[in-house]
Amino acid sequence: MRIAGKVPPLKRVPLPRPSQPARPEKSVLCYFEGGWQTTPVYLLDRLGAGEEVDGPALVIHETFTVVVEPHCRARITRYGDIEIEVAALPERKVGEEDDPVQRAIFAHRFMSIAEQMGYTLQRTAISTNIKERQDFSCALFGPDGELVANAPHQPVHLGSMGEAVRHQIRIHGEDLKPGDVWMTNHPAAGGSHLPDITVITPVWEEEKPVMFVANRGHHAEIGAATPGSMPPFSRTIGEEGICVESFKLLRGGTFEEEGIRELFRPSRAPSDNISDLKAQVAANFKGVELLQELVRRYSLPVVQAHMRHIQDSAEAAVRSLLTDISITHGLKEVDRLDADDFMDDGKPVILQLTLDRNEGSAVFDFSGTGSQDPGNLNAPPAVTCSAILYCLRCLVRADIPLNEGCLRPVRIVLPPASLLNPSREAAVAAGNVLTSQRVTDVVLKAFGACAASQGCMNNLTFGDERFGYYETIGGGAGAGPGWNGASGVHTHMTNTRITDPEILERRYPVLLREFSLRPHSGGAGRFAGGNGLVREIQFLKSLHVAILSERREYAPYGLEGGEPGSTGQNLWIKHNGEAVDLGGNNAFICEPGDRIRILTPGGGGWGAPA
């Protein structure tokens, strides 16, 4: 039964006019810009229509307090609202010089613009991957494509997007025209892996591009050999999906839908790709609008000057950090810290970290790292750059945006034809999500910063000829000198959410059987490593399922006597009860009723257990 009715509209009740002027209940001392001032306190319920209160004053209600600043005046309207007439304040001229206060204000403004871009992207996207899991990143770049500021999104995206922007600038040169928007996902063009599509938009002023905004979103379906576009056994980039070095999404302000539709024809869900690309364009337009508003208010030279100041400040903070680390470790003026670890197939990741105490500089030399992988563990150079940038920003205690200035005191050496500097044709699907985590662990190990985290993103995909689903699964974080590792979280290079169970089960033919912490999987120590997770999904129809993961052979190490975290495990549990250990990377065709049970690694402990 359905019953409809009408509710009379709410009526505003006018307040009576007072018979006597308002009197404060008491006076208190409040601190304003000019110092401490005696400030009267009024109760809103005792103020009548038309009464005026000069600032400084406090107007108190049961649920809120209104502060009336000095030189301002509050007036109670006929219906009990408070109108405040704000006195005109002398305008403070903001110049191009480096003022610490203005630098901090601009840094937060730039970060806020990137956050607004992210909100726009999330609201307008339709895919589970971008809308629900928030597997995207947004950032602002200077006139040369150097990262200035970003929202707190995915570290593996943010550190590599600057090279993607600079690559497009190099390609197009003088061919930059207002209304053009570019798309790229090629690893040789600053990309990470093919599902991560970067959309880049210039900000125009005085008929030239004066800065850039960009965002990178992970598309769950990009036309790879397997649904979800993260094939465990790919051996060339061509098996991993659509690969684009540069494509104009918008040409002169016109969305190139026909060309894009043809480009994404191999995808299992081209309409989703197109809708999300439109959302990415909308996010960039929001960033452009807000930056242009900032330029109108302060002028282009002032905005660009503060972009440089923010990067200069980050450079100074990192130089100070590297000098302090040299002193703390008792190093000579130029000395070396070494660290290594291994991928599950035994391939080494070796770092020789040379610190110059006087210059506050560092050389990250990965010579000796394993050769190019015949599979897809290869990480493009931009990914290693991201890992180093992320680690340095974590170690700097100053409140600075993650930006390109952090890398100015750094030189990175990547041997050619290696795991971290593969050829253009090499497969890279797992390099972005797995190898990046190993590089991060090795860098932090060299600095002695913390024990290893789960070192993996635990990439699960499933689908059929009509759709592909992708998710990453958290694990345990490594402990450090003074803290326990967090449990059941995404660590280091990823910062995504996981799909809500209701959305997962409503949109896809699966049941979530278990999602829980994995007890006792964190390494013991004076400070314990975080616990991993258990995620078990049951399939309701026949699907292609794939898992890409690491730390199934080499455990996340502890430091300073701490014990390692538990390795992970992936199990295919068939509907007849038979359990098959899938190892780290595998794929299978499930039958209805089959399950996959993923136990993610824990983090390493710090310090010998008591």
* Distance from chain centroid for Cα 94: 31
Mean pLDDT value of segment 63-84? 90
Distance CA 236, CA 424 (A): 9
Lowest mean pLDDT among 130-134, 281-285, 289-293, 562-566: 130-134
pLDDT digits (tens, 9 = 90+) for 185-210: 999 999 989 999 999 999 998 888 99
pLDDT band at residue 477 under the 50/70/90 scheme: very high
Q: What is the pLDDT of residue 157?
A: 83
Cα dihedral 445, 446, 448, 449, rounded to 10, equals -70
- The most confident of the ranges 132-146, 260-274, 516-530 is 516-530
CB–CB of 145/212 below 8 Å?
Answer: yes
Q: How high does pLDDT run on average in the chain? A: 93
Which of these, 605, 589, 585, lies nearest to 479 by C-alpha position? 605
Distance CA 446, CA 352 (A): 8
Phi, psi dihedral angles at 30 (to 5 degrees): -125, 150
Beta bridge partners of 219: none
Dmax of the chain from CA atoms?
88
Give every strand in the sheet of 533-539, ordered side by side.
Answer: 510-517, 533-539, 595-599, 569-573, 579-581
Residue 428's alpha-carbon distances to 292, 325, 382, 471, 554, in angstroms, are 37, 33, 12, 17, 21
Asked whether residue 1 carries a pLDDT value surpassing 70, the answer given is no
Write out 148-177 in H/E/C secondary structure.
EEECCCCHHHHHHHHHHHHHHHHHHHHHCC
Distance CA 293, CA 266 (A): 40
pLDDT digits (tens, 9 = 90+) for 302-315: 999 999 999 999 99
Lowest mean pLDDT among 175-179, 357-361, 404-408: 175-179
With a pLDDT cut of 90, the percent of the chain lying above it is 79
Distance CA 64, CA 527 (A): 43
In total, the chain counts a number of residues equal to 610
Question: What sign for the dihedral angle of Cα 232, 223, 457, 493?
Answer: positive
pLDDT band at residue 343 under the 50/70/90 scheme: very high
Beta bridge partners of 489: 475
Asked whether residue 401 carries a pLDDT value surpassing 90, the answer given is no
Asked whether residue 4 carries a pLDDT value surpassing 80, the answer given is no
Which residues lie closer than 8 Å to 403 by C-beta, 6 or more apart? Answer: 146, 147, 148, 149, 150, 310, 311, 314
Which of these, 415, 429, 419, lies nearest to 192 by C-alpha position? 429
CB–CB of 125/205 below 8 Å?
Answer: no
Long-range contacts of 390-394 (CB under 8 A, 24+ apart): 390/155, 390/156, 390/158, 390/159, 390/440, 390/492, 390/493, 391/440, 391/443, 391/444, 391/447, 391/449, 392/318, 392/321, 394/444, 394/449
Cα dihedral 285, 201, 159, 479, rounded to 10, equals 10
* CB half-sphere exposure, 425, CA atoms < 13 A: 3
Asked whether residue 91 carries a pLDDT value surpassing 90, the answer given is no
